[in-house]
Structure 1
């Protein structure tokens, strides 16, 4: 889940809101899509380590959905 200039600011796109994981903390939506880096996908396959800040940010991003989470690779 690397910061990308198009995803670092809160903005409205045709398909919905684009936020960073930090901006989304404490908020929820019915459906959330998260773009995963290869390192993020590997961390999910092996288990997240709560001691790592990047793993905590990934957890926050993936748990913002009430109903559906889409992991995009």
Structure 2
């Protein structure tokens, strides 16, 4: 089942990306088989970008959870 993004919760963006990567083949098949969705078919480069973004957000999520949910800037 897909996870929907919630704009005020970046950790949901991470969860949505991770789930999409798990379901990539099913998503590609569904979009390809549905004429009105074909323009939304992601390229390999776009899937790779999602993998990288998921990794970046995963590091941030780990840092956030290690600090008991307190925002700590690590820039």
TM-score when scaled to structure 1?
A: 0.28
TM-score when scaled to structure 2?
A: 0.27
Higher relative contact order (CA 8 A, sep 6+): 1
Q: Which has the higher helix share?
A: 2
Higher Rg of the two aligned structures: 2
